[in-house]
Copies of this chain bind each other. A is one copy, B any other.
Amino acid sequence: MLLFDGAFRGGNQLRSPLLVVGSLGLDSLKTPTGEVEATLGGTAAYFAMAASLYTDVWLVAAVGTDFPPAYRRALEERTVDLTGLQVLDGETFRWSGEYGADLNVAHTLEIHLNVFSEFHPTLPTAYRQAGLVFLANIQPALQLEVLQQVEKPSLVAVDSRDLWIQMSRDELTEVIRKSDLVFLNDAEIREYTREANLVAAARSVLALGPRLVVIKKGEHGAILVSQEDGMFAIPAFPHELVADPTGAGDSFAGAMLGYLARRGGTDIGALRRAVVHGSAVASFTVQALGTERLAALTMDEVLQRCRAFRYLTQFDDDVEGVWEKGT
């Protein structure tokens, strides 16, 4: 059963590979179920691990000379190309965070930008031809530097966070104007648009130019709002145990864009399926600390979770078949 036969105007064909520019770091995480020290983290790590289940990934980030070779290998083994990884003199970006019982908000304990504070993305020549570009959460000024270097990508997606909304609002708006797909969580899009209502907030972002907005709602799922197709909403997968929400959003974006790159299109049906894949992969990410579960994830498992999402959300056509009262 195909519900959607429309296609987006333009941009319907996508070129691989997929370029991600973001952070690689060493995370120390503490959650109610466990803790881990200096594990592979950063927005680009979660994105690339998820996206590389679907397609080849080019990664641009900066690490220090202390970045463990094992983490580099873990990425390369998934055919994440690290030609664009800058190794700078100094230490790798480090973040330590703690989650309370509700797992909703990360409390930052320590943050050391280290070499990340000197990072300016420089794309290897080949990367300038990237078909899909993901601007992970970094300073909007750096996101703009990336956009100056890529040549006519089919799809540009951007993520951001409260810090940049507060400190670099104008530059962030410039990035959003140049993007096709905007990822923000519910708190961020409310703060950025100053609209309490999420639908109004999404429309206000679309009015800046992007064709698509994904509102990430954590344990409450996600909403895709588009210029042409209205809204698609999906709940988060209801787990009995959530170990660590770190990276859920970036792995969601990685699977969503990876799926689109692999399928080579952004028609309405593909976009919705891409959101299901994003939700499926994110639902695995949160089941272990750091990238542990994501690193071991197979496509078979993802497809099984997609089937589970289908069972979780579907109801039959007969929903409209109710007798008028009295008949």
Q: Which residues of A pack against B, CB within 8 Å?
A: 1-4, 52-55, 79, 101-102, 196-200, 203, 217, 220-221, 223, 230-235, 238-242, 259, 262-263, 269, 272-273, 275-277, 299, 302-303, 306-307, 309-320, 322-325
Among B53, B200, B234, B311, contact of A240 (Cβ-Cβ < 8 Å): B200
Given contacts A234-B235, A307-B320, A322-B277, contact A272 B55 (CB under 8 A): no
Is the Cβ of A306 less than 8 Å from the Cβ of B319? yes
Distance in angstroms from A261 CB to nearest chain B CB is 10
Is the Cβ of A196 less than 8 Å from the Cβ of B101? yes
* CB neighbours of A52 from chain B (8 A): 325
Given contacts A196-B102, A230-B311, A315-B273, contact A53 B325 (CB under 8 A): yes
Is the Cβ of B310 less than 8 Å from the Cβ of A322? no
Question: Top 10 closest A-B pairs, CB basis?
Answer: A233-B235, A220-B220, A272-B315, A273-B319, A199-B240, A199-B238, A306-B319, A303-B320, A276-B319, A2-B316
Inter-chain CA distance A251–B179, complex, in Å, is 41
Inter-chain CA distance A299–B327, complex, in Å, is 13
Q: Report which residue of A203, A235, A315, A316 has the largest number of chain B beta carbons within 10 angstroms of its beta carbon.
A: A315
Inter-chain CA distance A231–B239, complex, in Å, is 11
Is the Cβ of B311 less than 8 Å from the Cβ of A3? yes
Can you spell out 19 A-B residue pairs with CB atoms less than 8 angstroms apart?
A3-B314, A52-B325, A53-B325, A197-B240, A197-B241, A197-B242, A198-B238, A200-B240, A231-B312, A233-B235, A234-B235, A262-B322, A262-B325, A276-B319, A302-B322, A303-B322, A310-B315, A313-B314, A314-B314
Is the Cβ of A276 less than 8 Å from the Cβ of B315? yes
* CB neighbours of A263 from chain B (8 A): 322
Inter-chain CA distance A299–B53, complex, in Å, is 46
Is the Cβ of A325 less than 8 Å from the Cβ of B238? no
Nearest-neighbor residue (CB-CB) of A302 within chain B: B322
Inter-chain CA distance A200–B3, complex, in Å, is 34
Among B102, B217, B306, contact of A320 (Cβ-Cβ < 8 Å): B306
Is the Cβ of A323 less than 8 Å from the Cβ of B198? no
Inter-chain CA distance A316–B276, complex, in Å, is 10
Is the Cβ of A324 less than 8 Å from the Cβ of B299? yes
Given contacts A198-B238, A272-B315, contact A220 B223 (CB under 8 A): no
